[in-house]
Structure 1
């Protein structure tokens, strides 16, 4: 059942997918570049934590790819970058953390450049995800949050900002007929995208997403395999 779906560590993701899903990929959340001077204008106190809202990201933000960040920082792979990001936000146990890799992220230092969203699907991905749903003839979606949120919405009456406002960590949004779905994942900097068919690579290329496509052996902790 989608509303209670949980992935067991050490078991390949593709073996745990509920029918009719057959393919999966981790969509990498882009870094966020706001206009020059944005943070200085927003900051009211010297040590105030500043991060743009979903609406600000959609209206003014520019995505910065993991590939670009890896080049600047000297990170060697998507796996190392994921470990660096998760270490930076203290999302890993001490034995799994990679402080040396996390230290490399400091090379990205810029007052208007921000780490990707970690708990919920990046606002940069939402318009494309909705486009993919619509291209499959999907009209209605269900959403499930592990504890209490649950509902239904029409794609014709829903904007990307509406979906951003709805999202919570570990929330699944799916076509009512299960042709496609995506799941925001807590402390991961990625979104798990599921499809009924096998053309995952062509969809990712068409949408110009950065992603790690799940192989037959890939598990939920893909970054440490």
Structure 2
């Protein structure tokens, strides 16, 4: 069983990985485009905040890449977009918040386009995670959730029916039975950290079509500051 780990900003991500893992990548959660008019139909008044349910996201939602959002909102790079998102949810201390970037994001976001999954592993990743975990023959996965004080082992096929498995994707780390791979959500972010015993993380990321940053020995969990100043 691989227990959830808390990545700090004092040392690079690779220095904090469990001993069996050699490489890692930061996966960006896609934005969620719902059908035009969806939000208007759901709101009882113009001030009500709405967000699609898991079922609605999987049934009706379309993935929107960070690159597309950057272009639409006149943001320069992934770092600016990450800071805009975290400023918008008040996840940064006041001295680090960038209201100008948040304004660019929120004023230019298309109608019925929603922020990515926050804190949780993105629902759009579930099929991909299942594929990766099974790629070396694993049949089971373990999970550890420190917030709910839950852990256990389930069949990998149950990742496709989360309601039945009772698995929360918030503050959780998921790994296959052989611990070849692991996926971990991170509090107050819109990313999932992907860890592997294989040194070819970039090959896996490319094959899965994930938007990401493959970690090197200078990549920290607050990676976005390195490209912003």
TM-score higher than 0.5 = yes
Structure 1 residue 108 displacement after superposition:
2.9
C-alpha contact 2:158 2:165 (8 A) present in aligned 1? no
Is 1:10 aligned to 2:10, yes or no? Answer: yes
* Worse-matched range after superposition: 175-184 or 156-165: 156-165
**1:167 is matched with which residue?**
168
- Give the gaps of 5 or more residues in structure 1: none
C-alpha contact 1:87 1:99 (8 A) present in aligned 2? yes
- Tell me the secondary structure at the aligned position of residue 124 of structure 1: helix
1: CA distance, partners of 2:158 / 2:98: 44
**1:151 is matched with which residue?**
152
Is 1:36 aligned to 2:66, yes or no? Answer: no
Using a 3 Å threshold, how does the CA distance of structure 1 residues 6 and 38 change in structure 2: closer, same or farther?
same
**1:69 is matched with which residue?**
69
Is 1:129 aligned to 2:139, yes or no? Answer: no
- Give the gaps of 5 or more residues in structure 2: none
**2:180 is matched with which residue?**
179
* Worse-matched range after superposition: 21-30 or 132-141: 132-141
C-alpha contact 2:143 2:152 (8 A) present in aligned 1? yes
1: CA distance, partners of 2:44 / 2:110: 18
- Tell me the secondary structure at the aligned position of residue 123 of structure 2: coil
- Tell me the secondary structure at the aligned position of residue 131 of structure 1: helix
C-alpha contact 2:159 2:165 (8 A) present in aligned 1? no
Structure 1 residue 212 displacement after superposition:
1.0
Structure 1 residue 46 displacement after superposition:
2.8
Aligned length: 225
**2:23 is matched with which residue?**
23
C-alpha contact 1:31 1:115 (8 A) present in aligned 2? yes
Structure 1 residue 205 displacement after superposition:
1.2
C-alpha contact 1:24 1:214 (8 A) present in aligned 2? yes
**1:88 is matched with which residue?**
88
Using a 3 Å threshold, how does the CA distance of structure 1 residues 60 and 154 change in structure 2: closer, same or farther?
same
**1:198 is matched with which residue?**
199
Structure 1 residue 116 displacement after superposition:
0.9
**2:50 is matched with which residue?**
50
Q: Deviations over 1:34-68 (max 9, x none)?
A: 01111122222332211011111111100110000
Is 1:117 aligned to 2:151, yes or no? Answer: no
Q: Deviations over 1:102-124 (max 9, x none)?
A: 11102433331111111101111
RMSD after superposition = 1.8
C-alpha contact 1:74 1:104 (8 A) present in aligned 2? yes
- Tell me the secondary structure at the aligned position of residue 57 of structure 2: helix
C-alpha contact 1:123 1:160 (8 A) present in aligned 2? no
C-alpha contact 1:54 1:164 (8 A) present in aligned 2? no
- Tell me the secondary structure at the aligned position of residue 2 of structure 1: coil
C-alpha contact 2:27 2:192 (8 A) present in aligned 1? yes
C-alpha contact 1:130 1:160 (8 A) present in aligned 2? no
